[in-house]
Amino acid sequence: PVAAGTIAINGKTLGKTRDKAFYRDVQMVFQDPYGSLHPRQTVDRLLQEPLAIHAIQDGEKRIERALDEVGLGKGFRFRYAHQLSGGQRQRVAIARALILEPSILLLDEPTSALDASVQAEVLNLLEEVRRRRKLTFLMVSHDLAIITHMCERLMVMQNGEAVETLTASQLIGHRVSEDYTRNLLRASEGFVRV
């Protein structure tokens, strides 16, 4: 729920109810690539579902483009989720989000369930996609290194409440004003370079 102010997407103020256009403009990549993909559906079926929901006709072309864009060729199209590694599953989840050509991606800890080397690959992929498509990301993460790498502006939250809003460079430079943010930085020392 909106606590204060307004939210506008592509110049249109977002009301209490969301229309179908909202769900096409805003797509989500979930934290767990193992839980977010139906195990009894092929990659093809997983990618067709949002196209069917939004009655998009050029599905064949979009599926091929989405798989290519995330670094999976058409050879992955008829595999099942259990046949894929965690990184490949997350790439399918990203392709599923991108297939509707949204302007905003909501990323809920998109790499936390992945090994460190695979995390870097997925983060680089997301950066490349954002730059090429001119996307806006809204990312949730506890990993300050990822946040400072991927985000320009950030909000530190505690118990669902905003504590402090700052830029990534302010966080990197430890130019913070709230004790909670300082404690968060202190707790991350030795684990991440911020």
Query: Are 31 and 88 in a shared domain?
Result: yes
Query: Are 41 and 124 in a shared domain?
Result: yes
Query: Are 91 and 175 in a shared domain?
Result: no
The helix or strand, by DSSP H or E, that contains position 67, with its residue range, turns out to be: helix 59-69
Looking at the domain assignment, is residue 103 inside a domain? yes
The pLDDT of residue 191 is: 57
Query: Are 158 and 173 in a shared domain?
Result: yes
CATH of residue 84: 3.40.50.300
| Per-residue pLDDT tens digits for 5-28 | 888 888 888 888 888 888 999 999
The pLDDT of residue 4 is: 81
Query: Are 128 and 153 in a shared domain?
Result: no
Query: Are 69 and 108 in a shared domain?
Result: yes
| Per-residue pLDDT tens digits for 140-173 | 998 898 998 899 999 999 998 899 999 999 999 9
Query: Are 133 and 185 in a shared domain?
Result: no
- What DSSP letter does each residue of 123-188 carry, written as one string? HHHHHHHHHHHT-EEEEE-S-HHHHHHH-SEEEEEETTEEEEEEEHHHHHTT----HHHHHHHHHH
Q: Which domain holds residue 34?
A: 20-140
The pLDDT of residue 194 is: 46
> Rounded CA gap, 148 and 97, in Å?
23
Looking at the domain assignment, is residue 13 inside a domain? no
pLDDT tier for residue 76 given thresholds of 50, 70 and 90? very high
Q: Would the pLDDT of 190 be above 90?
A: no
Query: Are 102 and 161 in a shared domain?
Result: no
Looking at the domain assignment, is residue 34 inside a domain? yes
Look at residues 153, 158, 160, 119 and name the one whose alpha carbon lies nearest to residue 138: 153
How many structural domains compose the chain? 2
pTM of the model: 0.88
- The pair of structure tokens assigned to 150 is 């991927």
Looking at the domain assignment, is residue 4 inside a domain? no
Query: Are 110 and 56 in a shared domain?
Result: yes
